[in-house]
Amino acid sequence: MRIHHLTRHALGLLLWGASTLTHSQGVPDGAGKSLVDGVCNSCHLLTQRVGGGYTPQGWDTVLRMMTNHGLNLTADQLALAKNYLAQAYPEKPKPPAVLIDGRHQITLQA
């Protein structure tokens, strides 16, 4: 029974490692990549969380939230992570608003 448990555990680690390696390949190169790749991907897949990117101030907010959730980096590491993230995942432009002339009735449904 114990061997079966260890085998399952080893298989899980192998699959997790392969999944992390596959997803980390999509992370852009740059100073701080290995830090961000290792730290962020240890809890969630970075490439699935960056969305539309952020401004440098937005990345400050994200890193502060992650610190509140247990991220433990030095001030130098936080600065390196922020600079990397701001360059690798800058805020993407938002689509322009579409303005419609005249009066319209709008119904929102949940």
Please give the C-alpha separations between residue 103 and each of 37, 63, 99, 100, 106, in angstroms, as whole numbers.
Answer: 50, 43, 11, 9, 10
Mean pLDDT of the chain: 80
Q: Judge whether 18 lies within some domain.
A: yes
Q: Judge whether 106 lies within some domain.
A: no
Q: Judge whether 102 lies within some domain.
A: no
Beta pairing partners, 90: 54
Taking alpha carbons only, the member of 94, 68, 83 closest to residue 31 is 83
Q: What is the pLDDT of residues 16-60, one digit of tens each?
A: 444 444 444 577 898 999 999 888 888 888 888 888 899 999 999
Domain count, the chain: 1
- State the pLDDT at residue 25: 55
Give percent above pLDDT 70 in the chain: 76
The token pair that represents 79 in the structure block: 């600065």
Q: Judge whether 96 lies within some domain.
A: no
Residue 52 contacts residue 42 (beta carbons within 8 Å): no
Q: Judge whether 104 lies within some domain.
A: no
Range of the domain at 35: 2-88
Q: Is 44 left (phi over 0), alpha (psi -120 to 50) or beta?
A: beta
Taking alpha carbons only, the member of 59, 13, 61 closest to residue 36 is 59
Q: Judge whether 28 lies within some domain.
A: yes
Q: Judge whether 43 lies within some domain.
A: yes
Q: Per-residue pLDDT for 14 more than 80?
A: no
